[in-house]
Amino acid sequence: MAQSGSQRSTSQGAGAPPEPGGAGAAARPASGAPVVVKKYANRRLYNTEASSYVTLEDLARMVRQGRDFVVYDAKTGEDITRSVLTQIIVEEESKGQNLLPTAFLRQLIAFYGDSLQSLVPRYLEFAMAGFARQQEQMRRAMEQTMGGFGLPFATPSLSNLEEMGKQNMAMLERAMSLFSPFRPGAAEPSRSPGAGGGEGDDVESLRAEVESLRRQLAELRAAQGRAGPKGSP
């Protein structure tokens, strides 16, 4: 009879989420390895490291803490991490945490199926990586300026940091506009008379714009370095 009980337990685990903290929970992964999360047919998410169910908010917290994870469909084994991350963004936006301007979303949607679609992900990664590096520098500058003395000493520095953040956002918007030469209000691209022109010229122009953006980022970093120490009394 013990054998039939074991068979019943096995068949139950194949079609339903495991019980939190049960004996069938996966062992903790090696340090630094991404946490494996499984999504079941009832749309519940199961963290195999913590042996517990989690919500999208829990996963968002893990992202903010720098903890990597992957999400698999429990039935098919398909990697659905991208889909789940997108759901997290939709939830955050619905709460009023608006990071994605409407114009940006329209531009992004327009690139689906476009000939430049394959370039957009890498370009966005480059732009966001640069922005993230600037954010870390701004946070460090703010902490150094505060120096444990309280908010009054940080006020001038916060103003500088806010201005730098606005410049970063403007640069990101400009970066996306490089991929929209036919956007409303865009200047007509200049073409030398008699030149073959075509896609080759467009690629060279894009490269020049990217190089210009890199120079501006370098200048912004240098300006931030000069502005950092000025907040002290």
**pLDDT tens sequence for the chain (233 residues):** 444 444 444 444 445 666 655 433 344 444 578 999 999 988 899 999 999 999 999 999 999 999 999 999 999 999 999 999 999 999 999 988 788 999 999 999 999 998 888 888 888 888 888 778 777 777 777 677 665 545 444 444 556 556 656 666 666 666 656 555 554 444 444 444 444 555 566 667 777 777 777 776 666 666 656 655 444 44
The string of pLDDT tens digits covering residues 161-210 is: 566 566 666 666 666 565 555 544 444 444 444 445 555 666 677 777 77
Give me the helices (H) in the chain, please: 2-15, 56-64, 81-94, 102-110, 120-146, 155-177, 199-227
Q: What is the pLDDT of residue 43?
A: 86
CA distance 233 to 230: 8
For residue 45, what is the enclosing H or E element? strand 45-47
pLDDT in the model for residue 19:
60
CA atoms of 56 and 94, how far apart (whole Å) = 13
Look at residue 221 in the predicted model and tell me its pLDDT.
66
